[in-house]
């Protein structure tokens, strides 16, 4: 009950999922799995208003700036989307990623909806915004994000909509001696990005425009 009270006061509730070590990730051979859930309550809105923001991918570079640098719908068949998104994330190092995602939405009831997004393609960008810009091959990239799965769950009740997001990413492990450079990015960014995303979703749904907070600190 305290969680719902905090949500109604405007809190973003975050929770790490799965086995957690000191770095907040689950180790796998050569990599790390980051699994985080976030939830917000958006008062005075309807379920379809939240969906209107989430499915308006052509404006995600506005709603989720500066984290989403560009986005567009490449194809749509009913509730099935194929989407391109370019992410720019900074934490000591700046990483630009081109992604292609497959997204399906499912209406569970008159007041509930959920979706699943699977990254079909993730490529790190070398020399972004220059004439030398190119996508790195899988053998060249730094492993800042190898895989990504995202679930949204929404329920309309209590005079608004509860919105939950679970994001699971696979990144490289942290090599010995490079923890100062790579560690802050692969361990901090998943949680910070999710918190930003939840705040931005609420702001966009309430019609406040882009959230001008940034992860660049």
- Whole-number Cα distances in Å, 68 to 79, 185, 211: 22, 17, 12
DSSP letter string, 71-126: EEEEEEETTEEEEEEEEEEEESEEEEEEEEEEEEEEEEETTEEEEEEEEEEEEEEE
Question: Within a domain: residue 75?
Answer: yes
Question: Within a domain: residue 26?
Answer: yes
Tell me which of 11-25, 73-87, 201-215 is least confident: 201-215
Q: What is the pLDDT at residue 212?
A: 45
Query: If you search the block for the tokens 């308006």, which residue do you land on?
Result: 56
Mean pLDDT of 15-34: 75
pTM equals: 0.88
Q: What is the pLDDT at residue 26?
A: 84
The pLDDT tens digits for 67-82 are 999 999 999 999 999 9
Question: Within a domain: residue 37?
Answer: yes
Tokens of 192: 């910070």
137: DSSP letter: P
Q: What is the pLDDT at residue 150?
A: 98
Is the model's pLDDT at 179 over the cut of 70?
A: no
Question: Within a domain: residue 196?
Answer: yes
Q: What is the pLDDT at residue 185?
A: 65
Mean pLDDT of 178-205: 81
Residue 30: closest CA among 138, 165, 159, 174: 174
Q: What percent of the chain has pLDDT over 90?
A: 66
Whether 151 contacts 37, CB under 8 Å: no
Tokens of 151: 């679930």
The pLDDT tens digits for 77-124 are 999 999 999 999 887 778 899 999 999 999 999 999 999 999 999 999
The confidence band for 175, taking pLDDT boundaries of 50, 70 and 90, is low
Whether 70 contacts 87, CB under 8 Å: no
Question: Within a domain: residue 210?
Answer: no
Q: What is the CA radius of gyration of the chain?
A: 17
Domain span at residue 75 reads 2-205
CATH number of the CATH domain containing 60: 3.30.530.20
Question: Within a domain: residue 216?
Answer: no
Q: What is the pLDDT at residue 22?
A: 43
| Bridge partners for 150 per DSSP | 117, 167
The pLDDT tens digits for 117-162 are 999 999 999 999 899 999 999 888 888 889 999 999 999 999 999 9
Per the structure, the count of domains in the chain is: 1
Q: What is the pLDDT at residue 208?
A: 60
Question: Within a domain: residue 214?
Answer: no
């Amino acid at each position: 009950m305290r969680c719902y009270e905090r949500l109604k006061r405007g809190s973003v509730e975050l929770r790490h999922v799965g086995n957690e070590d000191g770095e907040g990730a689950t180790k796998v051979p050569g990599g790390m799995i980051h699994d985080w859930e976030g939830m917000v309550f958006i008062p005075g809105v309807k379920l379809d208003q939240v969906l209107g923001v989430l499915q308006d991918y052509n404006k995600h570079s506005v709603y989720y700036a500066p984290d989403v640098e560009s986005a567009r719908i490449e194809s749509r068949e009913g509730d099935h989307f194929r989407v391109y998104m370019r992410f720019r994330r900074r934490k000591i190092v700046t990483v630009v990623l081109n992604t292609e995602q497959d997204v399906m939405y499912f209406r569970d009831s008159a007041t509930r909806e959920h979706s699943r997004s699977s990254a079909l393609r993730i490529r790190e960008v070398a020399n972004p915004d220059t004439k030398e810009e190119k996508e790195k091959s899988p053998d060249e990239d730094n492993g800042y994000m190898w895989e990504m799965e995202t679930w949204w769950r929404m329920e309309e009740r209590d005079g608004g909509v509860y919105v939950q997001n679970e994001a699971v990413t696979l990144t490289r492990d942290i090599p010995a001696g490079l923890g100062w450079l790579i560690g802050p990015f692969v361990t901090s960014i998943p949680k910070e990005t999710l918190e930003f995303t939840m705040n931005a979703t609420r702001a966009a749904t309430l019609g406040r425009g882009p959230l001008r907070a940034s992860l660049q600190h």
